[in-house]
């Protein structure tokens, strides 16, 4: 039994540190960051980040938000189909003027076509 254990340890020790095969390019190690994420961005620049030439978000209608306290209206809503979360206001279904550039959806919430371009 000892001989088998010694043989296994010896065989395992011989394989550690062997050079990779297939051209000598390692495939399982760490990689350099992708150029699109090197600055810390996740590629989704929908109003967040500190290195931006965009104006600061003020909590206005359709500004990007993450919670109600960031909105002057106190109403931060996610619109999953559009992939945005913005400050919004309630409205009467079919009455679009209070929604500015957006529309009043069937839930009585103003929905924009896109979030405002600003940063927090």
Domains held by the chain: number: 1
Q: Is residue 12 part of a domain?
A: no
Q: Note the pLDDT tens digit of each residue in 95-105.
A: 999 999 999 99
Q: Tell me if 5 is assigned to some domain.
A: no
24 in a domain, yes or no? no
Q: Is residue 42 part of a domain?
A: no
> Where is pLDDT greater, at 3 or 108?
108
Q: Is residue 46 part of a domain?
A: no
- pLDDT exceeds 60 at position 17: no
87 inside domain: yes
Q: How far apart are CA 112 and CA 95, in angstroms?
A: 14
Q: Residue 89 is part of which domain span?
A: 55-120
More confident residue, 42 or 1: 1
* Domain assignment of residue 23, yes or no: no
22-56: per-residue pLDDT in tens? 444 434 444 334 433 333 333 344 444 555 699 99
For residue 30, being part of any structural domain is answered with: no
Phi, psi angle pair for 47, to nearest 5°: 100, 15
Cα–Cα distance for residue pair 67/91, rounded to 1 Å:
20
CA nearest to 79, candidates 120, 48, 104, 111: 111
The string over 55-67, giving b where at least 16 C-beta atoms fall within 10 Å of a residue's C-beta and e elsewhere, is eebebebbbbbee
């Amino acid at each position: 039994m000892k001989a088998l254990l010694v043989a296994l340890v010896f065989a395992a020790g011989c394989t550690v540190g062997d050079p990779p095969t297939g051209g000598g390019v390692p495939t399982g190690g760490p990689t350099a960051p992708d150029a699109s994420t090197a600055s810390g961005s996740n590629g989704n620049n929908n109003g967040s980040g500190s290195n931006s030439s965009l104006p600061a978000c003020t909590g206005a209608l359709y500004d990007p938000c993450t919670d109600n306290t960031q909105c002057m209206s106190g109403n931060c809503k996610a619109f999953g189909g559009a992939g945005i979360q913005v400050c919004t206001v309630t409205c009467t279904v079919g009455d679009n003027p209070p929604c500015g550039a957006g529309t009043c959806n069937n839930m009585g919430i103003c929905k924009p076509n896109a979030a405002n371009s600003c940063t927090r």
